[in-house]
């Protein structure tokens, strides 16, 4: 069990505030849009664990700072050198990657994503939430895996086929396709598109609507609606990470 005061200020890339049981998580880099890196990866893994262990968190809002949700995009290159890690280095990163995804899925209260702009690194993160809102300027791209020189084995190989269908997902992952906000809405990845000033107010409105339900209704519905995804992850995440590691281990 975790207490809010114990983890609220310990992350450099996640700003946390809670009101009436609704926890708002804002990912950022020095107050602006998140620039993805090892610190953000490690802190989100720990934050999802802490948030999930705090019984006072009743609904989670996940959003970003600035004009992007996450970036920067990795620029594709035909001669891109595949990054190399030692087996020990990949063992640490691969283990963290598994916990990163599973800690989020193990949160037992509803999650709402408010995607404030392009999500070009780890675009699966907001899409794993139960309700996904986005601005008109949002976009989704997996720029850091296949087109960036990596096997897409950290969970995107599970999430996107489930959300998009197999053929669309394979194209998306193999080509580095960028989906506009409208594309994402039409594919069912996003539930609502809103102007930027209305994004967070709408997310809070939905969160307060969810709070009208009894706590056990919220908790057990979240568990039920994420069970299929957790089972798929349990079956395929470690396998994907093993293949990703085999391709980059020295």
38, 99, 115, 136, 207 from 59: Cα distances, Å: 27, 21, 16, 24, 6
* 135, burial (CB in 10 Å: exposed 0-12, middle 13-18, buried 19+): buried
Distance, CA of 55 to CA of 250 (rounded, Å):
43
Residue 124: active-site member? yes
Contact 113, 159 (CB under 8 A): no
Active-site residue (options: 108, 124, 205, 244): 124
**CA nearest to 234, candidates 94, 48, 101, 111:** 101
Catalytic residue IDs: 124
């Amino acid at each position: 069990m975790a207490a809010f005061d114990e983890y609220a200020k310990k992350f450099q890339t996640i700003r946390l505030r809670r009101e009436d049981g609704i926890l708002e998580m804002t990912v950022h880099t020095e107050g602006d849009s998140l620039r993805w890196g090892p610190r953000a990866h490690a802190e989100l893994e720990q934050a999802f664990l802490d948030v999930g262990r705090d019984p006072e968190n009743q609904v989670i809002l996940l959003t970003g700072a600035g004009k992007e949700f996450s970036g920067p995009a990795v620029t594709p290159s035909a001669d891109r050198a595949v990054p190399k890690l030692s087996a020990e280095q990949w063992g640490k990163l691969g283990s963290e990657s598994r916990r990163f995804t599973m800690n989020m899925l193990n949160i037992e209260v509803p999650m709402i994503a408010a995607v404030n702009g392009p999500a070009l690194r780890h675009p699966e993160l907001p899409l794993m939430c139960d309700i996904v809102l986005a601005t008109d300027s949002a976009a989704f791209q997996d720029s850091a895996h296949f087109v960036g020189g990596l096997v897409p084995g950290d969970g995107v190989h599970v999430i996107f086929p489930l959300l998009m269908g197999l053929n669309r997902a394979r194209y998306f992952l193999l080509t580095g396709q960028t989906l506009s906000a409208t594309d994402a809405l039409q594919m069912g990845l996003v539930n609502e598109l809103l102007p930027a000033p209305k994004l967070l107010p709408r997310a809070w409105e939905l969160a307060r609507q969810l709070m009208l339900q009894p706590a056990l209704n919220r908790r057990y519905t979240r568990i039920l609606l994420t069970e299929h995804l957790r089972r798929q992850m349990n079956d395929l995440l470690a396998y994907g990470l093993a293949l990703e590691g085999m391709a980059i281990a020295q």
